[in-house]
């Protein structure tokens, strides 16, 4: 662990060098997605403009494995650099629409095992990319071979599985100081699909995320989301369902969407809270407004 500012700046300087290398390898915007706010914080800390320690860096990139098959499918690699990387290992999570859940877990377990063999202090992202390029196609081919039903049927079976007796429903309300980053907003939407969750994301300042689904999946999503670089993120409220009703029967939403209302403020970053309250009321959730913001809301539709 970094014991002083000099050690920390050295670690973060190596992270910045690795990011610059990745930018040269992945010049297209849709290939490498960085958390620009966190990156700026690290740059300012390393340059001495600020003494406030930055949070860890999150980013993702798309990797196309060397294909002997005709899959040509991308594997998305989500990366998290803790402050003390490369002294400590980074966190990698690979996912692809071409991988079923079991094969995807196996890929991540094997990738983690490979990364653990690298020496302490060694930069890990390029080895991880090369490992996925060399081995990823094998997992994709096996996943497609094992798939005995269509993608639609698999999703239906997964939904039914999560609705069986014994799966507990949970609705979680998250409050962020703000949600601006395009990368974060994309992850919020994509991860909701990965975890079979419904609800919404309200971007801007403040930011609100509603998650509903199987309790295990909601908690897993929140654990993953809170590791991103947030100025503030809190769970304001949890609503647990009843065991005698299925998870799907207790949902208020049919999908997961990003909300857009009229915006205000100098940066046009404040969503119209009256319209937001009306949206909540349409889903019989108007009571949560006071829980989130500590004040009683007034809908634009109120007379």
User: What is 206-221 written as a DSSP string?
Assistant: SEEEEEEEEHHHHHHH
* Residue 167 pLDDT: 74
List, in order of start, the domains of the chain with CATH numbers.
Answer: 5-146 (3.10.110.10), 164-293 (3.30.70.100)
Dump the DSSP string for 42-103. HHHHHHTS--SPPPPEEEEEEE----SSS----EEEEEEE-TTTTTS--EEEEE-TTS-HHH
Over residues 155-169, the mean pLDDT reads 54
* Residue 96 pLDDT: 85
- pLDDT(9) > 60: yes
**Least confident piece of the model among 50-59, 144-153, 232-241:** 144-153
- pLDDT(115) > 70: yes
Over residues 91-115, the mean pLDDT reads 88
Stated length of the chain: 303
The distance of Cα 166 from the centroid of its chain, to the nearest Å, equals: 27
Cβ partners under 8 Å of residue 282, min gap 6 = none
* Residue 74 pLDDT: 87
* Residue 4 pLDDT: 81
Who has greater pLDDT, 101 or 42? 42
How far apart CA 184 and CA 227 sit, in angstroms, is: 11
Structure tokens at 95: 């996912």
> Residues of the chain with pLDDT > 90: what percent?
43
Q: In 3D, which of 126, 142, 138, 125 has the Cα closest to residue 66?
A: 138
Confidence band (pLDDT; 50, 70, 90) for 122? very high
How far apart CA 262 and CA 55 sit, in angstroms, is: 32
* Residue 112 pLDDT: 92
**Least confident piece of the model among 66-70, 78-82, 132-136, 244-248:** 66-70
- pLDDT(293) > 90: no
* Residue 69 pLDDT: 55
Over residues 138-160, the mean pLDDT reads 62
Confidence band (pLDDT; 50, 70, 90) for 268? very low
* Residue 302 pLDDT: 42
* Residue 165 pLDDT: 47
* Residue 154 pLDDT: 42
* Residue 57 pLDDT: 85
Confidence band (pLDDT; 50, 70, 90) for 243? confident
């Amino acid at each position: 662990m970094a014991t002083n500012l000099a050690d920390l700046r050295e670690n973060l300087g190596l992270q910045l060098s690795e990011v610059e290398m990745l930018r040269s390898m992945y010049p297209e915007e849709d290939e490498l997605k960085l958390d620009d706010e966190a990156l700026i914080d690290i740059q300012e800390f390393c340059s001495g403009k600020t003494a406030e320690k930055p949070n860890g860096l999150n980013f993702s990139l798309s990797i196309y494995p060397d294909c002997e098959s005709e899959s040509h499918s991308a594997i998305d690699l989500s990366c998290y650099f803790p402050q003390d990387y490369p002294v400590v290992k980074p966190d990698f999570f690979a996912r692809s629409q071409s991988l079923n859940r079991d094969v995807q877990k196996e890929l991540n377990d094997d990738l983690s095992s490979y990364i653990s063999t690298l020496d302490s202090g060694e930069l890990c992202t390029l080895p991880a990319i090369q490992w996925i390029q060399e081995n990823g196609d094998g997992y994709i081919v096996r996943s497609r071979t094992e798939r005995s039903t269509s993608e639609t049927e698999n999703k239906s079976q997964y939904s039914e599985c999560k609705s069986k007796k014994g799966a507990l429903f949970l609705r979680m309300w998250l409050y962020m100081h703000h949600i601006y980053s395009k990368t974060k907003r994309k992850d919020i939407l994509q991860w909701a699909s990965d975890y079979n969750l419904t609800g919404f994301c309200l971007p801007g300042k403040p930011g609100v995320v509603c998650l509903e689904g199987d309790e295990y999946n909601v908690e897993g999503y929140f654990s993953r989301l809170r590791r991103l670089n947030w100025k503030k993120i809190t769970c304001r409220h949890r609503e647990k369902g009843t065991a005698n009703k299925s998870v799907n029967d207790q949902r208020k939403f049919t999908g997961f969407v990003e909300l857009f209302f009229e915006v205000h403020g100098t940066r046009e970053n404040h969503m119209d809270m009256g319209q937001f309250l009306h949206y909540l009321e349409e889903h019989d959730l108007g009571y949560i407004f006071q829980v989130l913001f500590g004040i009683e809301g007034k809908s634009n539709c109120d007379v």
